[in-house]
Structure 1
Amino acid sequence: MTDTERDVFLPVAAQPSVDALVEQARTGEALGYDTAWLPETWGRDAVTTLTSIAHGTEDIDIGTSIMPVYSRSPALIGQTAATLQEVSEGRFRLGLGPSGPIVIENWHGADFGNPLRRTRETVDIVKQVLSGEELEYDGEYFDLQGFRLRCDPPETVPPVETAGMGPKAVELAGRFADGWHALMLTAEGIQDRLEDFNRGSEMGDRDRSEQRVNLSLTCCALDDAEEAKRLVKAHTCFYIGGMGTFYRDNLARQGHEDVANEVYDNWQEGDREAAMAAMPDDLLEDLAVWGTPEEARERFERFADIDGPDAVSVSFPRGADLEQIERTMDALAPN
């Protein structure tokens, strides 16, 4: 195995309480995970929850993955990053991304617009805010001037990372961000996108050694291997079939267009079982991790050995319960 870092993504599905999420982060810390990432969808907000996690942990890094760029102004995101860096005593990482039109338009009531441009401008502005300098920005979406943080900027500026699946989004991450959050990629697929990220890094004259690539994997390790596979497959098909076209297109770009379209079409027609049946086990194994604890560890190590990612993250199926999450976190822990 390589020296790739191992992170944990706290569950995207609704949890019983903020305290439960804090306890999961504490468990991740005790098990030796490097960073605990928290997604922000349409459940608990990331800022309040991460504040509680920051106060409830000591060593593990914490971060958003991802905080949507449409639901807050860039300046507010910068303020938030500065504050979370303060309350975590320097352990915060800011992960940003556009999310998708289903969430942004139907939940936040905002125009999805041009996600690449919006993400780039947000990253630029957040970095200006965190620098403590007076904000001056003339962009397509934002024209800002005359203000700076009225509190001291962070002594250690938190990394500003972005998520992306398409070639241009990943190139943008390399050019302007401090890292890239990758998901739903095969070993071959991530190599293609790494070429985009590295090209962007060169275009932006960035120090590639200071940028962090994180590959997120849906994982489930249970004594009942079939149940683990069912949970992982249902989660994967939900994203391909039910969360707009981005995940479908991402899978198609990796040479699996027929599967992607069949899963998507069946899901859209309401036939969840047919959608899951359309996802072959060998392709699922190239995208996710499941099985008994021993089988899941073996599958996970194959991803950890992929050349390119600096960190590989354990994330969980949306249908997993607390016991299954804890079992998986323990089975795949770095310690």
Structure 2
Amino acid sequence: MRLDVQPWGATIGEVVEAARAAESAGAGVAWTPELHRSAPVVAAAIAAGTSTIGVGTGIALAFARSAMLTALTAADLDELSGGRFRLGLGTGVSRLNQDWHGVEFAKPVARMRDSVAIIRAVEAGGDPIVHEGVRSIAVRGWRRPYPAARPRIPIYLAAVGPAMLRLTAQIADGWLSHELCPPSTLRDQVRPVLGSRKIDIVASACCSVDADAGAARRRAANVVGFYASVRSYADMFAAAGFAEVTAMAGAALRAGRPADSLGDLIPDEMVDAYAVAGTPAECVARLKQYDGLADGIKLSPPSYGLDADEVRAAQHGLLELVGSHS
């Protein structure tokens, strides 16, 4: 199984340094998230600063940009990386699209299907480029005058619900999981829906490695605590037996505690259920549980509620784990 990374840095330069270290350690792909930075911009920096590691947006928001602009950005990034780019797309949630970005969110599955169709049409070239749907395009008299690095750029979709998973199985080259994706979720909920079509299945996990297993788990606890405080994840946690913990996390959030500071409410068994955390040997054993279920796993260092030096220490341990695996 391939080990990918989501490199962290207080500056874009530090992110690129972490990606270089991941490349040296033998990581497969460096993925760039989109929340506090622009995923394509950071992907461009990594592409320019590395030579062999894959580069992917993990994920870029599909609806906050026009599909044509997304296609052009992907083509530029594939050229810049020498054919190493993967376009990871996600819908985001309604509030993020409508309140943060001022774009429509209705019919997200159909909107994503149209987005990918338009991206593929722009990628293929030709004149005119026309697609009608929830998202439409009508371009005439335009051709991209630059040679493509590859005829087809891999598109990965982030999908949680069954409808988006079915769409991923139909049209995508790969699937990217949510940050909380234990092996049981892959086995029982994801793989049955994705079916037998061969796509690159990439799980995701917060990874905290330390010789002190307790310290490793405490670093990762704030990540789990953040999601435990979000109401939309309550059913998932309740099904795993953690309803009481989520109730406490939600109450603490409503009482004014920051969402990234709830790790003290999260028991070790809950951290173990949703993160790769512990000693190097414990983390290796946890990663083996994904064998046969995922083609790759995107590992990110814990950062919620931690100062920069703690995140750097966690990332160093993560990269040593990747190096020992390669």
Q: TM-score, normalised by structure 1?
A: 0.84
Contact 2:68 2:118 in 1 (8 A): yes
Closer, same or farther in 2 for the Cα pair 1:130/1:143, shift >3 Å? closer
Aligned residue in 2 for 1:96: 89
**CA displacement 1:154-186 (0-9 Å, x = unmatched):** 434210110011111111111111111113223
Closer, same or farther in 2 for the Cα pair 1:45/1:84, shift >3 Å? same
Measured after TM superposition, the shift of residue 139 of structure 1 is 0.6
Specify the code of the residue in structure 1 equivalent to 2:303: R
Runs of 5+ in structure 1 lacking a partner? 202-207
Aligned residue in 2 for 1:78: 71
Aligned residue in 2 for 1:233: 221
Aligned residue in 1 for 2:281: 294
User: Does residue 220 of structure 2 align to residue 220 of structure 1?
Assistant: no
Aligned residue in 2 for 1:172: 167
Aligned residue in 2 for 1:321: 311
Closer, same or farther in 2 for the Cα pair 1:281/1:32, shift >3 Å? same
Aligned residue in 1 for 2:20: 26
Aligned residue in 2 for 1:53: 46
The counterpart of 2:251, out of the listed 256, 266, 283, is: 266
Specify the code of the residue in structure 1 equivalent to 2:83: G
The counterpart of 1:194, out of the listed 188, 191, 195, is: 191
Measured after TM superposition, the shift of residue 214 of structure 1 is 0.2
Q: Hey, what's the Cα distance between the residues in 1 that align with 2:186 and 2:263? A: 23
Measured after TM superposition, the shift of residue 248 of structure 1 is 4.1
Q: Hey, what's the Cα distance between the residues in 1 that align with 2:2 and 2:260? A: 36
Closer, same or farther in 2 for the Cα pair 1:308/1:45, shift >3 Å? same
Measured after TM superposition, the shift of residue 67 of structure 1 is 0.2
Closer, same or farther in 2 for the Cα pair 1:308/1:324, shift >3 Å? closer
Give 3-state SS (helix, strand or coil) of 1:321's partner.
Answer: helix
Measured after TM superposition, the shift of residue 90 of structure 1 is 0.4
Aligned residue in 1 for 2:5: 8
Contact 1:223 1:291 in 2 (8 A): yes
Contact 1:293 1:331 in 2 (8 A): yes
Closer, same or farther in 2 for the Cα pair 1:39/1:56, shift >3 Å? same
The percent of aligned pairs where both chains have the same amino acid is 28
The counterpart of 1:113, out of the listed 85, 106, 113, is: 106
**Structure 1 vs Structure 2 CA RMSD:** 2.5
Contact 1:9 1:39 in 2 (8 A): yes
Deviates more, 1:176-185 or 1:74-83: 176-185
Runs of 5+ in structure 2 lacking a partner? 305-309
User: Does residue 117 of structure 2 align to residue 124 of structure 1?
Assistant: yes
Q: Hey, what's the Cα distance between the residues in 2 that align with 1:168 and 1:317? A: 30
Counterparts of 1:237-256 in structure 2, within 5 Å, are 237-242=225-230, 245=232, 247-248=233-234, 250-251=236-237, 255-256=240-241
Q: What count of residue pairs does the alignment treat as equivalent?
A: 314
Measured after TM superposition, the shift of residue 257 of structure 1 is 7.3
Specify the code of the residue in structure 2 equivalent to 1:181: L
Measured after TM superposition, the shift of residue 251 of structure 1 is 4.5
Closer, same or farther in 2 for the Cα pair 1:108/1:87, shift >3 Å? same
Specify the code of the residue in structure 1 equivalent to 2:319: M
Deviates more, 1:135-144 or 1:254-263: 254-263
Aligned residue in 2 for 1:204: none
Aligned residue in 1 for 2:307: none
Q: TM-score, normalised by structure 2?
A: 0.87
